[in-house]
Structure 1
Amino acid sequence: MNDKLTIFYADDDPDDQDFFKIIVDLISEKYEVMTHMDGLQLLDALENPPPSPYLVFLDINMPRMNGIEVLKKVRQSEKYGNLPIIIFSTSKDGSVIQETMELGANYYVPKSAGFKELKKSIEHSLQINWETFVPDSNTFLYKDN
């Protein structure tokens, strides 16, 4: 029996997907990463379990259906309305960050160019207790200390 926690990661960049998988494997063996090339693939996977995700990492800039559109759809879903969603994007635009928070994302992690920083931000995200975490304007955005 597979008792790993499944993470869905939607990003149209295969290199970003590979780095993400490598980093999660380095952090812990308790996670399994399922990647999706765009928002439509992710939504299809959500609607056709198994597996069902413990957590979703979502890029914003993707073809066919972007991360903002996916976030809106998931938050309207009765089944996945409370699923923890982390926006994982290169965008550091304050209005985009604010919009994703207002639309119900749980956390926002700006993608770092460096492997070490990227690992640190993903590791931090995986250490959050998503059952009790309540985002607000001070805790929503990951900040590298």
Structure 2
Amino acid sequence: MSHQGPILLIDDDADDHFIFESILEELGVSNKILSFYDGKQALDYLLTTTEQPFVILCDINMPVMNGVELHQAIIESEFLRKKAIPFVFLTTAANSKVVNLAYEQSVQGFFQKSTSMDSYEEQLRSIINYWRNCLHPNVFPL
């Protein structure tokens, strides 16, 4: 994990992308934000990039490839598993079935999107700060 690497936002809602980017700008987060509108777009990027993303923030319900399918594809790829990119679900679709499925796949976090701007900002601040301070395999050079 590179603290300077891009933050990947994977969500099929353009309004959510705008809100997310606005909040990160307000928080002074300098990481580049890469926006994808389905899991397949993100997977294609991840399989071909030489960049080491900082964190993946992903919705669950999306067309083409949903968030659970994307996370499973990452787990099944030795190349992507070795990158050890933190993967966090940030979604409106929160129920016990999908939360349990996510943690069965060893997701690193699951958040239901807050409905107010203040609480959504606090969620994003907490997620970013956690991963900035967390020791992680890719923080140490090989």
Pairwise TM-score range, normalised by the shorter structure: 0.7 to 0.9
Q: CA RMSD in A?
A: 1.6
How far residue 95 of structure 1 moved from its aligned partner, in angstroms, is 1.8
How far residue 4 of structure 1 moved from its aligned partner, in angstroms, is 3.6
Q: Map 1:88-107 to 2 at 5 A.
A: 88-107=90-109
1:35 equivalent in structure 2 = 35
| C-alpha distance in 2 between matches for 1:122 and 1:18 | 14
The answer for unaligned runs of 5 or more in structure 2 is 137-142
Q: How many aligned residue pairs are there?
A: 130
| C-alpha distance in 2 between matches for 1:45 and 1:130 | 25
Q: Note closer, same or farther for the CA distance 1:41–1:112 as it changes in structure 2 (3 Å cut).
A: same
1:120 equivalent in structure 2 = 122
| C-alpha distance in 2 between matches for 1:125 and 1:60 | 17
**Structure richer in helix, relative to its length:** 2
How far residue 29 of structure 1 moved from its aligned partner, in angstroms, is 3.4
Conservation of the 8 A alpha-carbon contact between 1:84 and 1:130: no
1:14 equivalent in structure 2 = 14
Conservation of the 8 A alpha-carbon contact between 1:71 and 1:104: no
2:68 equivalent in structure 1 = 68
TM-score, normalised on structure 1? 0.83
TM-score, normalised on structure 2? 0.85
Give me the identity figure in percent: 25
Conservation of the 8 A alpha-carbon contact between 1:5 and 1:30: no
How far residue 50 of structure 1 moved from its aligned partner, in angstroms, is 4.4
Deviations 1:78-106 (A, max 9, x none): 22222100001102201211110111210
Deviations 1:9-63 (A, max 9, x none): 1000000011111111111233211000100000011012143311100100000
Q: Map 1:73-88 to 2 at 5 A.
A: 73-81=73-81, 82-88=84-90
Q: Which amino acid aligns with 1:75?
A: I
